[in-house]
Amino acid sequence: MRNYTDTEKSEAPVLSRRLTAIKEYVTPGYVLADIGTDHALLPVRLLREGKIPRAICCDIGRGPLERAREHLELYHVDHLAETRLSDGLSALEPGEADSVLIAGMGGELTVRILKDCDRRTDEAGRGFLGTVREWILSPHTEWDVVRRYLRVSGRVITRERMLREDGKYYVVIRAVPGDGEIPYREAEKRGLDREAAECYGPLLCFEKDEILREYLLDAMEKNRQIRKRLAGADREEGGRSTARERRSAELEREKERITTALHILNSQVPDCGVRPQT
């Protein structure tokens, strides 16, 4: 792997706060597959810094792939990377990548991509779950859906981070092959039920994360406002409709989850177990 000078390292794209956070989760020396690469800014930066030896930049759109190729050439790392037209990991084979990054998509789409690749094996019977050494995920929405699938699919969460950029909250999750129940069992020992852990992070809630605290307070205020509007509609119509009744029940469960998570963040809860190995 070539070692770049400080001057050469500076000649690399500037990353957003979110991409910078994701970059720190990629293990040095791992071959990276960037799914939904778009401009390939992150692979370019990692290659320029000499943190990874090779990258496979995948996207479902031909336009983004062309932009990715342009950036790879512009920063003189095209000999260390390739671009592939790919729906998820469809253009990859097990064993080609050590680290798989899926970022910038909704939670449901992220899970669909994971399910699709989990069903595939090569001629030798190898699958992605047995060959990929780390999964780095940053879904824009439905974080609980992603965490739930990681738990049941044989992937254990080892690191989590929340950040805020341009007024929006993001999470970054790193998972490795293993018993996905580990962080949830530990969270339950420390007072956080599974549903709340999937929503807000089985590790994140115990790290006294200030961004998570802001998110939870924002979520509680939104919850309060919606419940207030529903109560107003009930008064105007002289009763509660079936749909509002279901929605009110959902909001009450959400309120309980938020309250539990805030209690964990605001208290000094003893560590009852061992964190998953990184």
Q: What is the pLDDT of residue 11?
A: 79
For 149-180, how does the pLDDT look when each residue is reduced to its tens digit (9 = 90+)?
999 999 999 999 999 999 999 999 999 999 99
- In Å, what is the CA distance from 213 to each residue of 142, 170, 217? 18, 13, 6
Please choose, from the candidates 120, 152, 153, 157, the residue with its C-alpha nearest in 3D space to the C-alpha of residue 135: 157
**Mean pLDDT along residues 226-234:** 88
For 186-227, how does the pLDDT look when each residue is reduced to its tens digit (9 = 90+)?
999 999 999 999 999 999 999 888 999 999 999 999 999 999
* Cβ atoms within 10 Å, residue 80: 19
**Distance separating alpha carbons of residues 119 and 121, to the nearest angstrom:** 7
Q: Which helix (H) or strand (E) holds 56?
A: strand 55-59
Look at residue 24 and tell me whether its pLDDT is greater than 60.
yes
DSSP state of 178: S
Q: What is the pLDDT of residue 4?
A: 46
Q: Which helix (H) or strand (E) holds 200?
A: helix 194-200
Burial 38-57 (b: 16+ CB within 10 A, else e): bbbbbbbbbbbebbbbbbbb
Q: Are 138 and 25 in contact (CB under 8 A)?
A: no
Q: What is the pLDDT of residue 225?
A: 95
Tokens of 137: 């995920």
